Amino acid sequence: MEEGEAAKVDILKNTLYDTVIQHGSNTRLFTQSDLLDLDIIPHRNLQLLLQVIQALTNDKLLVGVTGGQGGLAWKYRSREDAKKYTSLPDETTMLVYQAIDEAGNDGIWKRTIENRVNISDAVMKVCIKILEQRGYIASMRSVEQPNRKMYIRADLRPSHRATGGPWFTDGQLDGSFIETLEGVVFEFIKGRGAYHQAPGAGSGGATRIPKRGVVTAAPTVTAGTKRSAKEITSDDVTPAATPGRPVAVASPASAAAAKSARKPEMFLPMPAGYKGYPTIHDITEFIHQLGITSNTTLGENDIRQLVEVLIFDGLIEPIKVGKRRGFRALRPTKQSTIPYNIRAKEMQNGIGLHLPHTGVLPPTNGLTEAPCGRCPVFDLCEEGGTVSPSTCVYFMEWLGLEEKKKEGDGVAEVKVEAGSDGKGSAPP
């Protein structure tokens, strides 16, 4: 190629490359016709276009790939990335880096690179060492194949598919984090979809019960007039327990004195027409504002996964509110009135509230409340056997006789030990 023609190709090469960047992303494929339609090559000279493409390919600025219909196409590579390729010492190292580059943020297995480039393990180790020393690649672990050594470009962050997303830590499922976040999400949904009835509500208690959807009596409103959903939603009701808000618990003395004159402390469902049920967007914003996921970023899709788990567990249900899809807790009267953060802290300190992390008591009936309905050795139970009703430890615990038996045994032992004549006589 003559000097003047080489200079012309160099000018057209830079112009065509800049134009390609302006007309698409680095994932768009440009066919031969697409490059000619950019009106950079004079007179649509096909031979000149091939020379320009070859120059760009040699500089690693264009990458040839197979097009959608089997034809040849090209996509561009940034100048920074192209500089990495041209700085490598040999073609084999370039091919290894290219295989890692094309794998993206999913990473690629070492054995896959060897088979694709067709090199031995010894050569592969040399190429990997060069690329790691220059900071071009990094090793990674995939939750799908934890025993395989994977490689990824050093400037990329592994995908959720490779790391397992925010629910995995160091390649292991973080059950504690998931359980904690489920409890927080559940408390928020409960707090927005139920109101708290404090002890004594309805008979001097401080909690204000939401107004019903129908006005039964009012000086200026005809009885039976239905209130609008907006009025119900804007009611200033006491919210349900939320993280950080302690719930007042009456003292044993006052509880015993007023037990017959007041309603128990519980959560009750909102009236019909209420529109304040939280959506996925509302829950996501709440989690971000709470700041409990500072080490990771949770998107709406991640929160949706948690909500779907709560739905599957039968703890919440979706509800249509206009064009929005909100969520509310099921069985509000069976839920703990103690906020999740306080309940979790007390359980960690060994106080033992014996409640699940969501604070919802399991469904019960007459059979499951009795020991026989959930006895692990029911089939072995018979009079005269190793397990029998008369010696059932589960019945003793259920009837509250276990502690009394221990106290009685303790008294008997004291009587025996107190005797000075060795016959077990009681002390005076």
Query: Is the Cα torsion angle 264, 239, 284, 168 positive or negative in sign?
Result: negative
What average pLDDT does the structure give for the chain?
Answer: 75
251 or 314, which is more confident:
314
Pairing of strands 214-215, 225-226: antiparallel
- The predicted pLDDT at position 307 comes to 92
The class (CATH top level) of 3-77 is: mainly alpha
- The predicted pLDDT at position 156 comes to 85
DSSP states of 70-81: S-EEEEE--HHH
User: Could you tell me the residue ranges of all domains in the chain?
Assistant: 3-77, 88-163, 175-334, 371-417
Q: pLDDT-derived band of residue 106, with 50, 70 and 90 as boundaries?
A: confident
DSSP states of 154-188: TTSPPPHHHH-GGGEETTEE-HHHHHHHHHHHHHH
- With 80 as the cut, is the pLDDT of residue 294 above it? no
247 or 118, which is more confident:
118
Q: pLDDT-derived band of residue 144, with 50, 70 and 90 as boundaries?
A: confident
In angstroms, the CA 413 to CA 409 distance is 6
* Confidence (pTM): 0.50
Which of these CATH numbers, 3.40.50.150, 2.40.50.140, 2.60.120.1440, 1.10.10.10, describes 175-334? 1.10.10.10
Q: Over the stretch 400-415, which tens digit does the pLDDT of each residue have?
A: 776 555 555 554 443 3
Q: pLDDT-derived band of residue 131, with 50, 70 and 90 as boundaries?
A: very high
Q: pLDDT-derived band of residue 69, with 50, 70 and 90 as boundaries?
A: low
- With 70 as the cut, is the pLDDT of residue 105 above it? yes
CB 142 within 8 A of CB 150: yes
Cα 18 to the center of its chain, rounded Å: 42
- Where b means 16+ CB within 10 Å and e means fewer, 86-119 reads eebeeebbbbbbbbbbebeebbbebeebbeebeb
| Fold matches, 3-77 and 175-334 | yes
- With 70 as the cut, is the pLDDT of residue 341 above it? no
Query: Which of 35, 33, 44, 43 is CA-nearest to residue 15?
Result: 35
Strand partners, 62: 76
In angstroms, the CA 150 to CA 100 distance is 9
DSSP states of 300-312: HHHHHHHHHHHHH
- The predicted pLDDT at position 418 comes to 37
Q: Over the stretch 220-241, which tens digit does the pLDDT of each residue have?
A: 444 445 555 555 555 544 444 4
Q: pLDDT-derived band of residue 383, with 50, 70 and 90 as boundaries?
A: confident
CB 359 within 8 A of CB 338: yes
CB 278 within 8 A of CB 316: no
- The predicted pLDDT at position 205 comes to 43
Enter the CATH code of domain 88-163. 1.10.10.10
421 or 5, which is more confident:
5
- The predicted pLDDT at position 217 comes to 41
- The predicted pLDDT at position 313 comes to 83
- With 70 as the cut, is the pLDDT of residue 247 above it? no
- The predicted pLDDT at position 160 comes to 73
- The predicted pLDDT at position 97 comes to 93
- The predicted pLDDT at position 291 comes to 78
In angstroms, the CA 121 to CA 126 distance is 9
Q: Over the stretch 2-44, which tens digit does the pLDDT of each residue have?
A: 667 778 888 888 898 888 888 877 788 888 888 888 888 888 8
Name the 3-class secondary structure at 152: strand
Q: Which element (helix H / strand E) includes 47?
A: helix 46-58
- The predicted pLDDT at position 70 comes to 63
In angstroms, the CA 336 to CA 356 distance is 10
CA-CA distances (angstroms) from residue 195 to 192, 198, 240, 270, 339?
Answer: 8, 10, 5, 7, 13
Query: Is the Cα torsion angle 289, 294, 299, 300 positive or negative in sign?
Result: negative
pLDDT over 90 percentage in the chain = 12
